[in-house]
Amino acid sequence: MIDFHAHLDLYPDPAGAVELCRQNGTYVLSVTTTPSAWLGTKRLAKAAPRIRTALGLHPQVAHQRKRELSLFDTLLADSAYVGEIGLEGGKEWKPFFSDQVAVFDHILKSCEQAGGRVMSIHSRQAATDVLNMLEAHPKSGTPILHWFTGSQKELARAIDLGCWFSVGPAMLKSANGRKLAASMPKDRVLTETDGPFGMLQRRPLFPSDAALAIPMLAELWALSTQDVEALVRGALTSVGELAGPQIWKGMYVI
């Protein structure tokens, strides 16, 4: 099981959530929403080598947390993964869009200077702006567009720009999500839940629920579930290699 975008620190019992993931053997990219949450969230998973903690600054809090960019830059040297970052174009957050752009631009520049990072990126109602900024920072690393909801045209551009994707059961419940996933390059797709925000049947998803995406992808791609599992495992290994051998040595050979 691979959940490449979950908020372990935002479950009601974060330590319990980590322990369950450890027992289940789930590979998790544990994303954070503020730089000040990173060290504590990372510490939670110190006995769980399959959990990797990404340094993030979520676009929905960019205007409140932009002062934490200096902390972000300090911590970046120790984090192979960055996320959740990106832009949020929903009308509730539109008044803060210029702050979001300034924060995301700063982060992409910092990642470029640091030699590139694996980045889990939010692009809801802002896919074109996100892609413009990624194009302007080609050395920022490997972008993984999480829960992509753009148009087919934006998807085609994202693929051309070398983006990867993480898709989950909640996204694949919608007709548009399925249509997008059907057009994604099969070797650049990871599974995710976005739990506890990602929900299914009014229940917050747990990282092990990322497995629910496998049969859904198998149907869309006309492949067996075993083939899809192998593809997703392969994508995890490739992304791990991109994150740097010093981080991944001896790991994720599955």
Interface with Mn ion (CB under 5 A): 84, 194
Query: Judged by CB, which is closer to Mn ion: 90, or 115?
Result: 90
Structure token pair of residue 2: 């691979």
Q: In angstroms, what is the minimal distance from the CB of 146 to Mn ion?
A: 6
Render 162-177 in DSSP notation, one character per residue.
T-EEEE-HHHHTSHHH
CA end-to-end distance (rounded Å), the chain = 11
Query: Judged by CB, which is closer to Mn ion: 3, or 84?
Result: 84
Query: Judged by CB, which is closer to Mn ion: 26, or 229?
Result: 26
State which amino acid sits at residue 18.
V
Query: Judged by CB, which is closer to Mn ion: 32, or 142?
Result: 32
Q: Which residues pair with 144 in a beta bridge?
A: 120, 164
Q: Is the dihedral of CA 186, 187, 188, 194 positive or negative?
A: positive
Q: Which among 14, 31, 17, 9 is positioned nearest to 146, based on CA atoms?
A: 31
Query: Judged by CB, which is closer to Mn ion: 31, or 180?
Result: 31
Q: In angstroms, what is the minimal distance from the CB of 7 to Mn ion?
A: 6
Q: In angstroms, what is the minimal distance from the CB of 160 to Mn ion?
A: 25
Query: Judged by CB, which is closer to Mn ion: 196, or 215?
Result: 196
Q: In angstroms, what is the minimal distance from the CB of 227 to Mn ion?
A: 28
**For Mn ion, which residue has the nearest CB?**
194
Render 98-154 in DSSP notation, one character per residue.
HHHHHHHHHHHHHHHHTT-EEEEEE-TT-HHHHHHHHHH-TTSEEEEEET----HHH
Judge whether 65 and 96 are in contact, CB under 8 Å: no
Structure token pair of residue 106: 């700063």
Q: In angstroms, what is the minimal distance from the CB of 58 to Mn ion?
A: 7
Q: In angstroms, what is the minimal distance from the CB of 118 to Mn ion?
A: 15
Is the previous residue joined to 84 through a cis bond, with omega within 30 degrees of 0?
Answer: yes
